[in-house]
Structure 1
Amino acid sequence: MNVYEAAAVFCLSFLIATVELIRRRKIEERYALLWLVLGLSMTVFCFFPGLLERLSRIMHVHYAPSLLFLIGLLFSLAFTLHLTMVISKLHRRTTRLAQELAILKAETPQAAARREGA
């Protein structure tokens, strides 16, 4: 089995796993779309190695299959950075909501005491 066949098996397995995660609602569609684009583009390069060879010559990469894995690695790194930004934003929102809830809980007994005293 050559490297293109191994990569094709991996890419097809990756696409099947991604579709299954979408079907089970384990991944949101907006994130799954990016993974599907990566999987499909990698699969195209695996089944049409001439495209990858041409692109590797343009980019001066001597071993074309390494370009295939470089594309996947760079995409994964960029996507991981994006998810880190999403998690950071959600963490800030959760902290803000917890603070607002604490303020509301602190104000509730005071409001009840004022109503009883009035």
Structure 2
Amino acid sequence: MIVIAGITFAVLVLGLIVVLLLRRQLREKYATLWLVIGLALLVISIFPGLLVQVTHLLGVEVPANLIFAISIALLVGVALHLSWELSRAEEEIRSLAEESAINRADVEALTRRVADLESARTPGDSTQAGSERA
């Protein structure tokens, strides 16, 4: 019964990853890691003796301890990677905000210049209008 529950859980995880990919709610670079984890869950669920063999090979006494250690290592790796991505995104956002502020200041300066030029022209002054057309 536990084997069936493990296989079902692994298939659900893999299905969720595929659905998120198809809906473009998960980027491919993140999906790769999660697909590997889902496939590892599926393999361990189908062949539970494999986990015991790997545990003995690595010198770990209890298979659950190996799973916890691998899980912690993966979570630390994911947290570190997401922190790195967040730092890059913050830098890009700061740069774009600065560029946007410069562009906004330029537009405001141009708007003031146009307004000044239009106010300097008098509506009844035909000489100015005639010289601009020529």
TM range (shorter): 0.7 to 0.9
Distance in 2, Cα, partners of 1:66 & 1:39: 19
Q: Is the 8 A contact 1:38 1:75 kept in 2?
A: no
Match of 2:43 in 1: 44
Higher-Rg structure is: 2
Distance in 2, Cα, partners of 1:81 & 1:6: 31
Q: Is the 8 A contact 1:18 1:35 kept in 2?
A: yes
Aligned partner of residue 61 in structure 1, secondary structure:
coil
What code does the residue aligned with 1:47 have? Answer: I
Query: Shift of the alpha carbon at 1:69?
Result: 4.1
Q: Which structure has more RCO (C-alpha within 8 Å, separation ≥ 6)?
A: 1
Using the size of structure 2 for normalisation, the TM-score is 0.71
Q: Is the 8 A contact 1:56 1:63 kept in 2?
A: yes
More off after superposition, 5-14 vs 18-27: 5-14
What code does the residue aligned with 2:24 have? Answer: R
Identical columns (%): 32
Which residues of structure 2 form unaligned runs of 5+? 121-134
Which residues of structure 1 form unaligned runs of 5+? none
Query: Shift of the alpha carbon at 1:73?
Result: 3.5
2:57 is equivalent to residue 58 of structure 1 = yes
Distance in 1, Cα, partners of 2:76 & 2:13: 17
What code does the residue aligned with 1:61 have? Answer: V
Superposition CA RMSD, Å: 2.4
Query: Shift of the alpha carbon at 1:89?
Result: 0.6
Provide the aligned length of Structure 1 versus Structure 2: 116
Query: Shift of the alpha carbon at 1:27?
Result: 0.4
Q: Is the 8 A contact 1:45 1:68 kept in 2?
A: no
Match of 1:87 in 2: 86
Match of 2:132 in 1: none
More off after superposition, 20-29 vs 100-109: 100-109
